[in-house]
Structure 1
Amino acid sequence: MNTMGILLRLSLAATLCYMVYSKMTIIDTPEVLKACCNEPRFHTKEMDPRLDNIQQYCIQKFRWHLQSRNPNSTDETAHYIEELLRMAQKESRSKRQVDRRRKEIRRATDKERQDFFRAINLLKRDTDVKPNRFDALGLLHQQRGDDVHHGAAFLAFHRVLLLIFENALRQKVPGVALLYFDSRLDQPLRDPTRSIIWSPQFLGTVKGRVTDGPFRFWQTPAGPLVRAGGHEGEYFTYRHIRAVMTRSRLEEISEPHAPPPFDFEIRHGDVHQHIGGIMSPAETAGFDPVFYMHHTFVDYLWEVFRRSQKEKGVDPTRDYPTRYGTSAHAPNALMGLGRLRNIHGMSDMYTARMYTYEPSPTCSYRNPSCGSRYLTCNFRFGRPQCVTLEMITPTAPTAPFGSATNGQTPQQQTQLTPGFPNFSGNRIGTFPPRFGRKKRQAVGVVDASRFSTMGQNVLSQFGQNGLMQFAQNKTREMQNKKEEVKMGFPTELENNMDVFQKITEDGKEIILSPMTNMCPPTVPTNVIQNLFQMNGISDSRIWVYIPVQVIYKRQREQMVFDSFPIEEGQMQMEKDIYDPTLYSSLKDNFILNVNYSRSCRDMDGIFTKIMVHSDGLNYHGSFREFAVVDSRQPYTSSTIYIAIKSPEKFDTEAIFAAYDPCGNVCKPYCKRFGHFQPCDGSLKFDNTPPKLYGKDYGEAIKLVWGITNEGIPTFRPDNIQLQFVCN
């Protein structure tokens, strides 16, 4: 009887434990999602692109299936498309010289750029086609969904869509042409979000709601126009494009079979992720004008690829892949743009009769000019390369940690500096490697934190008259040096190219600063503005929050910090108190393990940012947040609060994922019967009490934090059901 009583009590305890945690159930990840993530082409020794980008690509592909409820285009939109296609047809039959010349946006004249922005805004205000002519085209892109993505028709469809959009612009402002955004010019910056491209004179706010620039305070069918630049993904690089250009056939760079690093569609998606906000989900990307500028650059690169094909003896008009993906990507399948079929997008007619491209900006030792006052020729890459100018806004370097401000208001004076390579770190003059540790220099470097003050006071130091005199003197010096340049590294010229310039546009003053060593803050200064969009409805009240713990183990190959022990009055500069390999109690747990040959410097700082995602499995919505951990410590943790669909009425199924700044995927652990166990990160929630979620952010915090009678906050980890281990 005693034994039976013990068994009964154990059974009852197990049942009660199950009941307590029944509201969060570990579920299987959908097979279609697992199959995508497990594709052999994504698991090669030369893995590229990053693992986080691959996982997000697969989730985006899965999301299109949830988007299938979207209705087809309205008759009104269909007639509008037919009207714009007739314009193209008429122009293709004309014998006049092609007058559309698409340029990189920083190479366009001020008038060309302003006309372009004006035409976009006129489309946005024209409601003759519902909801307006601009968003009608964005909705068309959304409704086409997977039929024009993840397959061979991707490039052809978007080429025709761009032509339709360009014709719509020309209806409003005759003679206007599309401008493209070559993100390779921004990628080398330490902080690409400070590129001039995101200034009020160009595309406006890149962090948070767009509150300045030509598209300020736009409302879209997905809610306010929002961006979340710099948190995820990456811009195009010259290395990326060189890899694509080594291929000869469209099938070799197209979904669904192109292997990394040649998959052009996946690579283009990294830029969507890097801009973030409405640009991040493909189904809402068409509501941000940046979408068209990014895709115009993609089309430009495809045209370069097609010219390369001709040089190799391949006819690009007949090079439609035989392995094209789903039936919607078949060569004779309808595009959904009038009566055009996918194969029609392969024609040479577009660039022969309708538009041409001005080549992307370049420079050389003999001609160190990029042809734009918004670009500078940089020689720090082994060969000359055009790089965008940076903004130096007074508030950006000193914004409080976690501030939502973007430091880019129309009233502020924007200062710019010639772009500097993307070498992360807390000090200037060091280039810490990702793999293979390097002791930081103790002397001969300048603390980057000082530059924020210097940047703010640059005008007061010189004064307006002194500033312009300095600029004139430096310009004369540079012109004299140009004549002395020979082949090789032009050190003197480079040092004298950083000159002050004063530019005034629309009453706003832009200052180009010679201080090329401006560094971004070592901690994130901007939170992520989520869309809170679910099944087409943007409303944060239909979301709930769950606490998630991020556990971080310092990587052995991370940089060493400058904090030295002192023995008998002497500083031991060959040691570092934060280096775990110096301690016998820790060193066995920090063995160098190089998984990939690709270098990454994004984790070489005092703080490391871990991105955490939730994506719906039975609803169409996503949420992004990041945890900040102290990279000096061997082990550390952070608790954040992730939003999911409210399970108050119907159960919620979601998949969670976390990534470090180098794209490595953190391992999820789910609590079951009071203990954390490895899982896929796919979970189901219901409303069974006690609820382990908060109906709002405050309730979620109260789940894991209490207050003693003395007013001391106390941490209660028992209510945390999900954790990620990043090691």
Structure 2
Amino acid sequence: MAIVWTKAVSVFCLVLSLLKLSSALLEPNPFPKTLKECYDFRSYNMTPSDEVALMIQNHCFKNYQYKQIADGKIWTAPNITQEGMNYINSLFRKLFGEIVASSKSKHQKRQAAVRFRREVRSPGAFAPFVECIRRLYNTQVSANMNEYQAIASLHTGQALQSAHDGAAFLPWHRIYLLLLETACRGVPVPYWDSTVDHVMPDPTRSIVWSEQFFGNGDGQVLTGPFRNFQTTVPGDSITREIGTSRNALFTKEGLAAVLSRTRYSEIVEPKRGREYVYSLEGHHNGPHNWVGGHLPLPWVAAFDPVFFMHHAYVDAVWEVFRAQQIRNGIDPGRDYPLQNEPGHGPFDIIDFRPYFPPIRNIDAMSQAVARLVRYEPFPSCQNNCNSSPHLTCVGGVCMSRARPAASPIESFGGAAAFGPSAQDVPSQSRVLAQARGPIPGGERFRSSPFMDTRNRPNTIGNAPVAPELEAASFQARTAGMRSKRDASKILHYNVSSNAHVQSVSSLERSYTNTFIMDGVIDVKRWVYVPVRVVYNRTNANGNDPTFKANILKENLNEMCRAVGSGASKVYVASNGLDYFGTYKEFAIIDERQPISETTAAVGIKNPDYGAGEVMFSAYDSCGRPCRPFCLTSIQGKQKYRPCSGVFKISSAELQRCVCP
């Protein structure tokens, strides 16, 4: 098989030969019908590009995988306990009861909102929220999950298919915030306006990263009200690495860009190129990536309570936008994009399946839902920064005060562990985080529109999603279910744990596989296929793709960093079509050469554990996808011809085939 990526600038080729695995055989198979239909549908009337091709590839595989899961054809985790089911269902029943009551009173004069969300530093805003979160965290719903973890687990796995990268992003998270507040018995989630931190000379010095608010941000969280919080993975303590990645916090410029638009379709994904600056979801990615640790990883972000305070601000910005629409004569409850990805349409059900009752995306856009919340105005010098003792007016804008110079978490040797220079000091929190290694939470969020040159590289890193998180996701979402609606979407480069693109590609960073096969970590369940990778730099335009001036500006991001040596990575992945397992490896090629060739070993299901079907895919370090070719025999001669990249794995004896 060969996988080739073609574009005006260069060609990549990956070759997989028929291989004998003990007494096993890999045989080329056609695309499954539903998978091919998805490819055809998604590519219809689409402008060809590398980015679109990879998005379609990721989307269609995930859509197919979730259908296989829902139909019971591949592994799913055990169900959540009945107690956990009852708990989540009770929250939804109460919340939707409030929404129904709000809709019935829509013509009545609004006296007061059920929830009044204030900036986290406003007097009295933070303490009630902390009390609720700690109560949830200390209340078990099952032997291995507390109430807070049960709610956080809803923002994992299949939820990410309709919660991100589309028009459903804002209504989905609006319901999610309301659900947490329902668990908090009406206590509002304070919003974190990170623009007042961004304007500081050093945002990592903000008062929010102190024991008084969020706790330390330099590694494992050991101070503050959320100290020692964990995900559902044993020993996976919440970690932060503030001021890392290239992304900025929310900025005044980004806020102004979003609010300069008039239609909902103008501020929601998908957005590319210059239009990305208007994407509210794009700006939302910035604080996720800036905080580092767990927060940039969609699978585990919600396990850090900072997640909800950040999203409360995103929702507040949306509400300001909606108020502008009303003043301009636009009904925000009906202003929904006409063209949407599956799961993001106005009448698609928000994916909190299987909990009752269902709600559509358009329903969450309604005033009945909006009336449940009211926001304190954003801090400004005109309102005396909301009378917060932790904010000050500087140069006409509110700015966060810095935390005390002495930190509760001291470095080895007694130096404070925070601040630009102190970020390199080995604090106890940071040493613990680095000793534990990369966080098993999958890939990072896509980069935000604005970068911050003050940031430093992250040192903790991320690894594929841990099996315990996979299990918790299924436990929280698939109890008793064997049927599923189509609520998927096009995945962007770094949204899902199984998306085939890393947010940062560097020759110094390795890639660690989990070896999860149908919910079991066992290297014996895997065998390896040698994959031949061929790089062809020739192109029709005569442009040298290694010359920086020939690279489109929008491609100059974290994913596509030039390496002076000319060496680059090509990632090769195998995805089980009838088993639950993904394996990814990379090969090093030399972009300076007209043709470069190498080999990577990629894991697939061991046929000793039963026959299987696998799909191979590949892409380069800039996210440009490859196309498969298979080695065939034509009139006694071996030739590579285009094929599906899908193979049947069997224990049949190798007979009439020629193996190189």
Alignment partner of 1:598 is 2:554 = yes
Q: CA deviation at 1:161?
A: 1.6
Return the letter of the residue paired with 1:132. N
- 2:578: which partner in 1? 618
Q: Say which of 633, 650, 656 aligns to 1:686.
A: 650
Q: CA deviation at 1:126?
A: 1.6
Q: CA deviation at 1:162?
A: 1.4
Relative to structure 1, the CA distance from residue 164 to residue 661 in structure 2 (aligned partners, 3 Å threshold; closer, same or farther) is: same
Q: CA deviation at 1:159?
A: 0.8
Q: Deviations over 1:49-107 (max 9, x none)?
A: 7765564444444443234257799344212332455678899999457764354xxx7
Return the letter of the residue paired with 2:170. L
Q: Which moved more, 1:598-607 or 1:257-266?
A: 257-266
TM-score by length of 2: 0.55
Alignment partner of 1:165 is 2:180 = yes
- 1:135: which partner in 2? 149
Relative to structure 1, the CA distance from residue 150 to residue 685 in structure 2 (aligned partners, 3 Å threshold; closer, same or farther) is: farther
Return the letter of the residue paired with 2:89. A
Q: Say which of 25, 28, 33 aligns to 1:26.
A: 28
Alignment partner of 1:344 is 2:373 = no
Q: Distance in 2 between matches of 1:32 and 1:198?
A: 49
Q: Distance in 2 between matches of 1:112 and 1:220?
A: 28
- 1:654: which partner in 2? 614
- 1:218: which partner in 2? 230
Q: Within 5 Å, give how 1:195-206 maps onto structure 2.
A: none
Relative to structure 1, the CA distance from residue 550 to residue 67 in structure 2 (aligned partners, 3 Å threshold; closer, same or farther) is: same
Alignment partner of 1:101 is 2:117 = yes
Alignment partner of 1:124 is 2:137 = yes
Q: Say which of 379, 385, 392 aligns to 2:423.
A: 392
Q: Within 5 Å, give how 1:112-511 maps onto structure 2.
A: 119-120=132-133, 122-128=135-141, 131-140=145-154, 153-169=168-184, 177=190, 179=192, 214=226, 218-220=230-232, 248-250=262-264, 292=308, 295-296=311-312, 298-320=314-336, 331=347, 338-339=356-357, 341-342=359-360, 343-348=362-367, 353-356=372-375, 359=378, 366-367=395-396, 370-373=399-402, 392-394=423-425, 421-422=452-453
* RMSD, aligned α-carbons: 6.4
Alignment partner of 1:35 is 2:40 = yes
Residue aligned with 1:25, SS = strand
Higher relative contact order (CA 8 A, sep 6+): 2
Q: Distance in 2 between matches of 1:366 and 1:608?
A: 46
Q: CA deviation at 1:371?
A: 2.5
Larger radius of gyration: 1
Relative to structure 1, the CA distance from residue 102 to residue 313 in structure 2 (aligned partners, 3 Å threshold; closer, same or farther) is: same
Residue aligned with 1:373, SS = coil
Structure 2, unmatched stretches of 5+, are 1-16, 382-391, 404-418, 440-449, 460-503
Residue aligned with 2:616, SS = strand
Please tell me whether the aligned partners of residues 317 and 348 of structure 1 are also in contact (alpha carbons under 8 angstroms). Answer: yes
Q: Distance in 2 between matches of 1:42 and 1:194?
A: 45
Q: Distance in 1 between matches of 2:256 and 2:87?
A: 43
Relative to structure 1, the CA distance from residue 615 to residue 369 in structure 2 (aligned partners, 3 Å threshold; closer, same or farther) is: farther
Please tell me whether the aligned partners of residues 196 and 391 of structure 1 are also in contact (alpha carbons under 8 angstroms). Answer: no
Residue aligned with 1:318, SS = coil
Relative to structure 1, the CA distance from residue 679 to residue 145 in structure 2 (aligned partners, 3 Å threshold; closer, same or farther) is: same
Relative to structure 1, the CA distance from residue 302 to residue 639 in structure 2 (aligned partners, 3 Å threshold; closer, same or farther) is: farther
Structure 1, unmatched stretches of 5+, are 1-16, 375-387, 409-418, 425-447, 453-520, 557-580, 582-586, 691-717, 722-727
Q: CA deviation at 1:365?
A: 9.7
Q: Distance in 1 between matches of 2:524 and 2:123?
A: 43
Q: CA deviation at 1:356?
A: 1.8
Return the letter of the residue paired with 2:359. R
Please tell me whether the aligned partners of residues 527 and 605 of structure 2 are also in contact (alpha carbons under 8 angstroms). Answer: yes
Q: Distance in 2 between matches of 1:80 and 1:215?
A: 26
Return the letter of the residue paired with 1:316. P
Q: Distance in 2 between matches of 1:58 and 1:648?
A: 29
Return the letter of the residue paired with 1:603. R
Q: CA deviation at 1:165?
A: 1.3
Return the letter of the residue paired with 2:117. R
Please tell me whether the aligned partners of residues 651 and 685 of structure 1 are also in contact (alpha carbons under 8 angstroms). Answer: yes
Q: Distance in 1 between matches of 2:616 and 2:319?
A: 38
Please tell me whether the aligned partners of residues 170 and 176 of structure 1 are also in contact (alpha carbons under 8 angstroms). Answer: no
Q: CA deviation at 1:600?
A: 1.0
Return the letter of the residue paired with 1:347. S
Relative to structure 1, the CA distance from residue 372 to residue 332 in structure 2 (aligned partners, 3 Å threshold; closer, same or farther) is: same
Relative to structure 1, the CA distance from residue 60 to residue 319 in structure 2 (aligned partners, 3 Å threshold; closer, same or farther) is: same
Relative to structure 1, the CA distance from residue 18 to residue 153 in structure 2 (aligned partners, 3 Å threshold; closer, same or farther) is: closer
Q: CA deviation at 1:655?
A: 3.3
Identical positions, percent: 25
Residue aligned with 1:655, SS = strand
Relative to structure 1, the CA distance from residue 91 to residue 323 in structure 2 (aligned partners, 3 Å threshold; closer, same or farther) is: closer
Q: Distance in 1 between matches of 2:248 and 2:300?
A: 19
- Aligned residue pairs, count: 515
Please tell me whether the aligned partners of residues 668 and 679 of structure 1 are also in contact (alpha carbons under 8 angstroms). Answer: yes
Relative to structure 1, the CA distance from residue 678 to residue 590 in structure 2 (aligned partners, 3 Å threshold; closer, same or farther) is: farther
Q: Distance in 2 between matches of 1:635 and 1:369?
A: 56
